[in-house]
Amino acid sequence: MSLQVCFHGNCFDGVVSAAVFWRFYRQRVDARAAVTFRGMSHGQGDPYGVDHDALFAAEDNAVVDFRYSPSPRLGWWCDHHHSAFLQPEHRAHFAADRSGRKCFDPQAPSCAGLLGRWLAREHGFELAPVVEHLRWADVIDSARFESPAQAVRLESLALELMALLEQAPPPALVEELIQALAAGTLAQARALPAIAQAVAPVLEQQRALLELMRRRLELQGGVATFDLSADGVEGVNKFVPYYLHEGVRYTVGLTCSSRRAKVSVGSNPWQRPEPLTNLAELCAPWGGGGHAVVAGISLPPEQLDRAREAAAAIAAQLRATAP
């Protein structure tokens, strides 16, 4: 049996979701399945392309922590994003599904947590070995950190892995991490030579980025903005603005690398704005998505000007909500 697992790429929750599903599949479906992993990203248009069936080329196909597809070749699906359904007919297709192999809950703090508990409840998955994985996925993806300092100083193994994934490491390294998380603990995965070697420069880079953010961050109307598009930065710690400044309600950041131009939009998890503006809805017209409290837009790097336009428009919309 061949299995393809599509997951939200460059994301701790997406990677842990892929690992949890692969562990389940070997445990309860087919221990000898040949697996491939495919990281997915949000952008303009349909992320699966014009022919969903062509992308789902394995004998069995799963999508975790990413948008729904009505393809009959999609066997398993689990997500918690508010933007999970690209079209109304996709939601209707999911609602009509009676396979027992698809799960959606936009209130879940993480997809990995939702997935693990659903597989345990409905499909006999042994949850105990991955409890730590799920706990950290819940913390990271819903920003349930004790303080901005905990989120920025990265003084735990899970947060180090989070920082590594945000820098878009090579797919082969991500697959090695998924396999390690599926087989063992966070500590065992972090200790792998290839992972340890990749994490070290990322942590040094995070310290340098913190100083860069001190210089570039602008705060107006409770909205912190930063533009690092000229610095070749792939990703930044989205909690830095709350660490550097009190009174930040929302953040809008722009980065650009050889792979993508990205707009990152977030709300302060320690002082959540009231009423909250749904950030996924703000990003949707630009081809983005996510959650009500955190969302983003990914565009090809040659569309940097459009990404900058989106960032400016969203920042202006958020400033207009200031009390």
Predicted confidence (pLDDT) per residue in 123-139, tens digit: 999 999 999 999 999 99
Where do we find the tokens 């989106």? 310
The answer to whether residue 45 scores a pLDDT higher than 90 is no
- And the tokens for 177? 């991490």
Of 157, 240, 170, 253, which is closest to residue 206 (Cα–Cα)?
240
- The model's confidence at residue 236, banded by pLDDT at 50, 70 and 90, is confident
DSSP summary character for residue 276: P
Are 135 and 223 members of one domain? no
Task: Work out the number of other CB atoms within 10 angstroms of the CB of residue 226.
Answer: 23
Type of residue at 201:
P
- Looking at residue 261, what is its pLDDT? 93
Q: Is the link from the previous residue into 171 a cis peptide, with omega within 30 of 0?
A: no
**Could you tell me if 131 and 245 lie in one domain?**
no
d(CA 93, CA 85): 10
Q: What is the reported pLDDT for 318?
A: 97
Residue 7 has pLDDT above 90, yes or no: yes
pLDDT band at 252 (very low <50, low <70, confident <90, very high): very high
CA atoms of 237 and 29, how far apart (whole Å): 37
Residue 247 structural domain? 217-319
Both 23 and 106 in a single domain?
yes
The DSSP symbol for 129 reads: G
Q: How far apart are CA 8 and CA 155, in angstroms?
A: 24
**Poorest-pLDDT segment among 57-61, 94-98, 108-112, 294-298:** 294-298
Give the up-direction half-sphere exposure of residue 323: CA atoms within 13 A in the CB hemisphere. 7
- pLDDT score for 126: 97
Task: State pLDDT tens for residues 10-35.
Answer: 999 999 999 999 999 999 999 999 99
Cβ(26)–Cβ(58) below 8 Å: no
Each residue of 170-229: pLDDT tens digit? 999 999 999 999 999 999 999 999 999 999 999 999 999 999 999 999 999 999 999 999
**Residue where a domain terminates, one of 84, 110, 142:** 142
Chain-centroid distance, C-alpha 111: 9
**Paired sense of beta strands 250-256 and 218-220, if any:** unpaired
Structure tokens belonging to residue 20: 């949890």
Q: Does 177 map to a domain?
A: no
Q: Domain check: are 21 and 126 in the same one?
A: yes
Residue 108 has pLDDT above 90, yes or no: yes
66 pLDDT more than 80: yes
Q: Is the pLDDT of residue 235 over 80?
A: no
Q: Tell me how far apart the terminal alpha carbons of the chain are, to the nearest angstrom.
A: 57
Is residue 271 in a domain? yes
Q: What is the per-residue pLDDT for 119?
A: 99
The residue from 142, 163, 184 where one domain ends is 142
